[in-house]
Amino acid sequence: MPWKDETDFNNVADLFKYLLDRWQKDKLVACRGQSDSSWSLQTSLDRILDQNADYKAKLSEESAVLEKFRVLALEYVGSIESSYLYGGHATDKISALAVMQHYRAPTRLLDWTNSPWIALYFSAIDHHDKPGAVWWFDQKSFEQEVGQRWKEEYYDMEKYRRPGPNGQINLNATAFNTDGPFWITKLHYPIPFHRIEVQQGFFTVAGRLGFEHGELIADVFDQRTAPDEAGQAENQYARIIVPALWKQEILDRLRSMNIHSKSLDYPGSDIVGSNLTQNLKRSHSASL
């Protein structure tokens, strides 16, 4: 089922009231803000890889990116990050990908936040000529459905279970194989990065490359919803469309709530400078 677009707001005040009323209680909602509503929930790595390439070649390229990051980052990362890249946790490739994600390297991970306000900030911070979007889904229901799916569909796969009485699934044993199951799950960063803490961040990770996370998340909810209960699934995930003309007012209101680039440890000025550099390089290259 496609993600339902929520657009029934007359102004910014209506939008803020909706967010406050909907999530002021104990409802734990995963949110992701994107400044262009036409963007799908595709990971940074999948946006780069050739989708027509052989799947084994895709996995090899992902592995090569990880190894290159380990070499280039050696002189820059701290001791905790080093343990996940080179030390005792180095075999946990998914945790290594989390370190890469923090440093903006291309990975199969997709960032989310527990805060609708932070997601709203990221939906408004850029592309002021285009509508943004806040994607959201119910975390509790998602975790229950994912857990049930592992139990019913994958639990008999002994090669994917960790040793011991709990028999937990070892995601590393499935994610980097050509024949692994098609799963998606929610994971937290193994390292307490300051930026992740202030942004209340975590991520989703899929068992296969090349799959858009929005489709996988919707599938988790919809497969376990009977046809006559379709409305219930709709209430578990949707996206809020943020009009382009509202973006600056949204940023002004969020600033009054102490939600801005500095409080979120978001390197906005660096991004502006990098974009200017890249644009200048492209313009000079085109003129040659």
Structure confidence by residue, pLDDT tens digits, 3-53: 999 998 999 999 999 998 887 665 789 999 999 999 999 999 999 998 889
Residues 199, 116 share a domain: yes
What pLDDT score does 276 carry? Answer: 63
Residues 83, 54 share a domain: yes
Residues 205, 106 share a domain: yes
What pLDDT score does 271 carry? Answer: 57
pLDDT higher than 70, residue 111: yes
Contact assessment for residue 202 and residue 189, using Cβ atoms and an 8 Å cutoff: yes
Token pair 């098609």 is found at 182
Rounded Cα–Cα distance for residues 68 and 283 (Å): 30
What pLDDT score does 195 carry? Answer: 86
What pLDDT score does 62 carry? Answer: 94
Contact assessment for residue 96 and residue 66, using Cβ atoms and an 8 Å cutoff: yes
Q: Indicate whether 253 belongs to any domain.
A: no
Residues 165, 30 share a domain: yes
Residues 221, 125 share a domain: yes
Range from 93-97, 125-129, 133-137, 255-259 carrying the lowest mean pLDDT: 93-97
Q: Residue 198: which residues within 8 A CB-CB, separation 6 or more?
A: 263, 264, 265
Residues 124, 194 share a domain: yes
Residues 264, 139 share a domain: no
Residues 276, 243 share a domain: no
> How many domains does the chain fold into?
2
Residues 214, 97 share a domain: yes
3-state secondary structure of 247: helix
Range(s) of the domain holding residue 56 = 4-247
Q: Indicate whether 172 belongs to any domain.
A: yes
Q: How confident is the model at residue 201 (pLDDT cuts 50, 70, 90)?
A: very high
Residues 53, 18 share a domain: yes
Task: For 121-180, write each residue's pLDDT tens digit.
Answer: 999 999 999 999 999 999 999 999 988 887 776 555 555 665 544 556 778 888 998 987
Q: Indicate whether 192 belongs to any domain.
A: yes
- Answer whether 0.85 is exceeded by the pTM: yes
What pLDDT score does 165 carry? Answer: 46
Range from 17-31, 56-70, 76-90, 96-110 carrying the lowest mean pLDDT: 76-90
Q: How confident is the model at residue 192 (pLDDT cuts 50, 70, 90)?
A: confident
